[in-house]
Chains A and B, each alone.
Chain A
Amino acid sequence: MLRTIGVASIEELFADIPSHLRLGGPLALDAGRSELEVYEELRALARRNTSTEDELCFLGAGMYDHYVPALIDSIISRSEFLTPYTPYQPEVSQGGLQAMFEYQTAICELTGLPVSNASVYEGPSAVAAAGYVAKLANGRGRFVVSRGVHPHSREALATLAHGWGVEVVEAPLQDGVTELPELGEDVSAVIVQQPNFLGAVEDLEALAGAAHDVGALCVAACDPLPLSLLRAPGACGVDVAVGEGQTLGNRLDFGGPSFGFFAATEALIRRVPGRIAGETVDLEGRRGFVLTLQTREQHIRREKATSNICTAQALNALAGVIYLSWLGRHGIVELTELMLQRTAYARERLAALPGVHALHDQPVVREFAVALDAPVADVIERCAAAGINPGYALGRDYPEYENGLLVAITEKRTRADIDRLADALGEAVTAQRSRDAHHVGAAG
């Protein structure tokens, strides 16, 4: 090969790199290892993590321990889905493009909006992306964001909004749901979450109405499974519905990769970020699919693009549409109603425990918040010792709920599991209270 090139050594191929910039020795990395050794190392690391297979997990707060049906792994591990690039050559990418089109249709159905893209990165950055669309659409200088929006979403939005010079103002929660302040004509978007971070179902129609009254857009970050029961955001007047797609057939993966969905009104179609699959015909009149409206995108429009997004989450979105097909039109409702009933049961069981109180009384679907009369971190540790992860401590993000606990009930958590949680949590709170009382007594 060197002879064909006309050089004597590989070294010569790097002649353009100034010699003093070339590394004198090897990188400070370990030597390569066999497949078996790497497998063993990665397995050893995996064993030092407590997964949802190792404990009874009631953690949610944005990602949830749902069952992923076997057919998803079977399909998405096919090399024809796993290893292609973005479908820039549609003639040899019809499979991926059609799957995107089917995915977009399903997201439109769930959100009640007419336009969906083919995926964005994940939930919180999707909220930031929606903010950017609002800013492009009306050029106003303020976002009003509910305190019920996931803390990661609020922070991701603030990170980007700083660069745009857009101010982010928080709307407080009252009795667990958003209470909008007086809105001015400078508001670009009102951004809320459905159900909100504390699990409460928001009245989207009222919130969207208030936004529209001042000419602002309404953005809702939505949990897709509850949308099978709740009024569709589009029907409530929401302009942009985004959300975290992990719950649709994607594993937890310590936080990613999953996918974000992004749906919008027809009026915003040319501002939507990222790839969109569209239907068309080929030379012979056969139906086919292409990436469409590419003049929104960075590779065509460059600095005038509606977003910089390029690689998104195609494989994860494919898992999403397979999952939605597996659930089907009635299954998704049955699944959500099961979670609804078990969550109601869990909420009653927990709130009946001494030292445990409901944090709010709003309707909830899969997640609810309680306040403990004991330090939540200690209670979580006691539960962990019993093999239970009781939920997410709210205090880091919500100092006003210092001992708040957010509990998620997916379809994997049975009545027996919930009873175990209630027993362990009750014991932990009681034990911690008596220990703390003893300490106070001893100190006094």
Chain B
Amino acid sequence: MTASAADDQLTIYERSKPGRRAFVAPALDVPEHPLDQLIPARLRRAETPHLPEVSEPEIVRHYNRLSKRNFDLDTGFYPLGSCTMKHNPKLHERVAALDGHARLHPLQDPRRAQGALELMFNLQTALAEIAGLPHVSLQPSAGSHGELAGVLLTRAFHEDHGESRTKVLTPDTAHGTNPATVTMAGYEVVKVGTDAEGNVDLDDLRAKATDDVACLMLTNPSTLGLFEHGIEEIAEIVHDVGATLYYDGANLNAIMGICRPGDMGFDIVHFNLHKSFTQPHGGGGPGAGPIAVAERIEPYLPRPQVIRRSPDSAHAGGAGTAFFDLDYDRPKSIGRLRGFQGNYGVFVRSYAYIRSLGAAGLRDVSEVAVLNANYLLAKLRAEGVMEHLPVAYDRICMHEFVLSGAPMKRDLKIRTLDLAKRLLDHGVHPPTVYFPLLVDEALLIEPTETETKETLDRFAQIIVEILREAADDPEVAQTAPHTTPVRRLDEAGAARRPVVRQAL
């Protein structure tokens, strides 16, 4: 190996020594059969898999050391646009870990899982209210899984009405998951342009909204952080050709309790519980991507569906209490998207969040998220940053905004990537960079509602310092970061000669 690794950076495999162990097996307490009698030798492996041989203290120390090589939300500002890196309340971990939630088998009889099913039903009801749509399925595992569910629901809806449509529209500002989902659901992607103000180009939409279009997938506010002025007209154009209107909920944090996708004309909505509803992101999951739908889409929802049976129904078991159940009897359902009932542990956290905040609290969230974004934008403007990093669309933004690093690149010789890397040296996670694609050298900044004014001021100050520094000596940013556990990494080399596992 050409790369060097200091002792504190060895992998768990490199720490392995024959004979070391952490695990002690419980005693064998049944009569022992010869192995050959239980599983014929031809079906058994000849050599045990190479797993690390390490003691418990070594494992603990190893992973603690690794943890110190991660930046995290509990340590610093994380203005990562479209990702809603807001505080994850600690109560949620405690309640999710209660035995009745954490150690509940997914195939437990509903009569002995009433607490879990009631929680899921209540969460469905709350999400339906927030979306302004009557029906919810919690099943999808993440946002992109919710998108897939949504497009498959669209397909089922059209097929049930005797139509086979072939295209799905996505704006050129869309998250990458939208077009990827369209392909994966068996449709062709057609891109819709953006107008000079950052809205969907309505003329382009009209031209492309033909009767072979199944759906338009839209994020509102868009990935530019802007509310679509013409949302009702968009809905009308889409519905006039018989297509469905899909809401990508990645940016829901801007509008909770203020307006609702259902009222705007959306037929299908997905939520990212790991964004707006505080499931910790875990370094790349878990998440959950429930969907809310209009009445006409309801018959196709995935099964099983969590339902509430009235006290007098045959299933209720009497006693005058409602009974929560799993309904499999859904003949028009698209079917399952995954095993069991979804990421219940995530539901517990999001439900606790909604219960903690209530209606007024959720509205506060969005108001402060939008206030913080506009404040940070104004602060950057006041500090003179716009000369190098102009806002891409000069409007009041919602919960996030986009700057363009093109003038900075031209005048100061540092790219958006350099600025991002230099932010790391200041202990701040960079914004989302090079997205949305239609803004040159884009920085997408989402401060969220859980940051203080002082944090936002400090961030603006850091940007000012980096720009000033670049004017003197661009090389500092060009070669940043300087203080992180490793410096810039050779990503091209990694892709050219992929090493994706340890050679053992």
A53 CA to B99 CA, complexed, in Å: 7
**16 new A-B contacts at CB < 8 Å, known A252-B105, A287-B4, A345-B30:** A1-B375, A23-B259, A30-B359, A45-B100, A51-B103, A51-B105, A92-B481, A110-B49, A123-B339, A159-B335, A160-B184, A163-B186, A312-B286, A340-B35, A341-B32, A418-B30
Inter-chain contacts of B72 with A (CB < 8 A): 79-84
Contact partners of A81 in chain B: CB under 8 A:
63, 67, 70, 72, 282-283
A90 touches B39 (CB 8 A): no
Question: Residue B130 at the A interface, CB < 8 A?
Answer: yes
Asked whether A174 is an interface residue with its Cβ less than 8 Å from the other chain, the reply is no
How near does chain B come to A94, taking the closest CB pair, in angstroms?
Answer: 4
B252 interface residue, CB < 8 Å from A?
Answer: no
- Of A208-216, A225-233, A422-430, A432-440, the stretch lying at the interface with chain B is A225-233
- Say whether B241 faces chain A, with CB atoms less than 8 Å apart: no
Complex Cα–Cα for A393 and B411 (A): 70
Chain B residues with CB under 8 A of A333:
48
Query: Which residues of chain A are within 8 angstroms of B21 by Cβ–Cβ distance?
Result: 328, 330-331
Contact B107 A96 (CB under 8 A): no
Given contacts A59-B107, A95-B70, A300-B176, contact A101 B11 (CB under 8 A): yes
Chain A residue at minimal CB-CB distance from B264: A21
Number of interface residues of B (CB under 8 A): 200
Give the residues in chain B near A79, CB-CB below 8 Å. 72-75
Q: Are A294 and B284 in contact (CB under 8 A)?
A: no
Q: Cα distance A276–B357 when bound, in Å?
A: 37
Is A138 engaged at the interface, CB distance under 8 Å to the other chain?
A: no
- B126 and A29 contact, CB distance less than 8 A: yes
* Shortest CB distance A80–B (Å): 4
Find out whether the CB atom of A121 lies under 8 angstroms from the CB atom of B145: yes
Asked whether, in the complex, the Cβ of A124 is within 8 Å of the Cβ of B339, the reply is: yes
CB distance from B8 to the nearest CB of A (A): 11
Bound complex: CA of A396 vs CA of B304, how far in Å?
13
**Contact indicator A92/B484 (Cβ below 8 Å):** yes
User: What separation, in Å, do the CA atoms of A436 and B220 have in the docked complex?
Assistant: 61
Beta-carbon contact of B129 and A292 below 8 Å: no
Q: List 20 A-B contacts (CB under 8 A).
A: A23-B259, A29-B362, A32-B360, A39-B94, A59-B108, A93-B70, A110-B49, A125-B337, A150-B339, A253-B343, A254-B113, A283-B487, A286-B487, A311-B285, A315-B285, A325-B54, A328-B51, A333-B48, A335-B25, A345-B31
Interface segment, A111-119, A183-191, A351-359?
A111-119
Contact of A49 among B100, B227, B284, B362 (CB under 8 A): B100
B85: chain A residues at CB < 8 Å are 85
Pair A254/B344 contact, Cβ less than 8 Å? yes
Interchain nearest-CB distance for A178 vs B (Å): 14
Q: Is A42 a contact partner of B59 (Cβ separation < 8 A)?
A: no
Residue among B12, B83, B257 facing the most chain A CB atoms (10 A cut-off): B12
Report B-chain residues with C-beta under 8 Å of the C-beta of A2: 371
Interface pair B39/A163, CB less than 8 Å apart = no
Known: A287-B1, A311-B143, A329-B51. Is A252-B98 also a contact (CB below 8 A)? no
Query: When the two chains form the complex, which single residue of B91, B103, B104, B281 contacts A85, counting CB atoms closer than 8 Å?
Result: B281
Q: Is the CB of B378 within 8 A of A5?
A: yes
B409 lies within 8 A of chain A by Cβ: no
Tell me if B438 is interfacial: C-beta within 8 Å of chain A. Answer: no
Contacts of B343 in A (CB 8 A): 253, 255-257
B283 A302 Cβ-Cβ under 8 A:
no
Asked whether, in the complex, the Cβ of A95 is within 8 Å of the Cβ of B69, the reply is: yes
**Which of B147-155, B205-213, B312-320, B465-473 interfaces with chain A?**
B147-155
By the criterion CB–CB under 8 Å, are A18 and B71 in contact? no
The complex places the Cα of A257 from the Cα of B94 at a distance, in Å, of 16
Task: Mark contacts of B46-82 with chain A using CB atoms, 8 A cut-off: 1 yes-contact digit, 0 otherwise.
Answer: 0011111110100110111111111111110010100
Interface of B is mostly: loop
Q: What's the Cα separation between A384 and B370 when bound, in Å?
A: 52
Are A282 and B488 also in contact (CB < 8 A) when A16-B226, A49-B112, A287-B1 are? yes
User: Are A38 and B66 also in contact (CB < 8 A) when A29-B358, A294-B495, A314-B284 are?
Assistant: no
B179 near A302 with CB under 8 A, answer yes
Could you tell me if B115 and A290 are in contact, using CB atoms closer than 8 angstroms? no
B458 at interface, CB cutoff 8 A: no
**Residue in B75, B93, B285 whose CB lies within 8 Å of A316:** B285
Tell whether B196 is near chain A: CB-to-CB under 8 Å: no
**B286:A344 contact, CB within 8 angstroms:** no
Contact present for A325 and B104 (CB under 8 Å):
no
Give the interface size bracket for A toward B: 35 or more
Across the interface, do B93 and A21 meet the contact criterion of CB distance under 8 Å? no
**Residue A147 at the B interface, CB < 8 A?**
no
Cβ contacts under 8 Å, A285 to chain B: 2-4
The smallest C-beta distance from A108 to any residue of chain B, in angstroms, reads: 5
What is the 8 Å Cβ interface bit string for chain B, positions 345-357, against chain A (1 contact, 0 not)? 1101001101111
> In the complex, which residues of chain A have a beta carbon less than 8 angstroms from the beta carbon of B328?
396
B280 touches A83 (CB 8 A): yes
Whether A101 contacts B50 by the Cβ 8 Å rule is no
User: Known: A21-B264, A94-B69, A119-B285. Contact between A303 and B189, CB under 8 A?
Assistant: yes
User: Inside 8 A of B13's CB, which chain A residues have their CB?
Assistant: 102, 105
From B2, B12, B130, give the contact of A102 (CB < 8 A): B12
Q: Which of B9, B16, B340, B343 has the most CB of A within 10 A?
A: B340
Tell whether, in the assembled complex, residue B367 and residue A10 are in contact, meaning their CB atoms are under 8 Å apart. yes
B78 adjacent to A85 (CB under 8 Å): yes
Closest to B335 in A: A159
Among A1, A101, A308, A330, point to the contact of B371 (Cβ < 8 A): A1
Complex formed: what's the CA distance from A269 to B91 in Å?
Answer: 41
Determine the distance from Cα of A7 to Cα of B395 in the docked complex, in whole angstroms.
Answer: 13
Q: Considering the chains assembled together, what is the distance between the CA atoms of A69 and B24 in angstroms?
A: 11
Most chain-B Cβ atoms within 10 A of its Cβ — which of A29, A35, A75, A122? A29
Q: Is B88 an interface residue (CB 8 A)?
A: yes
Which residues of B sit under 8 angstroms from A163, Cβ to Cβ?
Answer: 151-152, 155, 184-187
User: In the complex, A254 Cα to B341 Cα: how many Å?
Assistant: 8
Query: A290-314, CB under 8 A of B: which get 1 and which 0?
Result: 1011110111111111011111111
Residues in A neighbouring B71, C-beta threshold 8 A: 84, 89, 92-93
**Inter-subunit contact B183/A256 (CB<8 Å):** no
Task: Please indicate the chain A residues that have their CB under 8 angstroms from the CB of B48 in the complex.
Answer: 228, 329-330, 332-333
Task: Give Cα A309–Cα B359 distance, bound, in whole angstroms.
Answer: 32
Q: How far is the CA of A47 from the CA of B381 in the complex (A)?
A: 53
With a cutoff of 8 Å between Cβ atoms, the chain A residues found around residue B181 in the complex are 308
The chain B residue with its CB closest to the CB of A153 is B339
**B-facing residues in A54-108 (Cβ within 8 Å):** 54, 57, 59, 61-63, 65, 69, 71, 73-75, 77-87, 89-96, 98-99, 101-102, 104-106, 108
Residues of chain A with a CB closer than 8 A to B22's CB: 69, 71, 325-328, 331
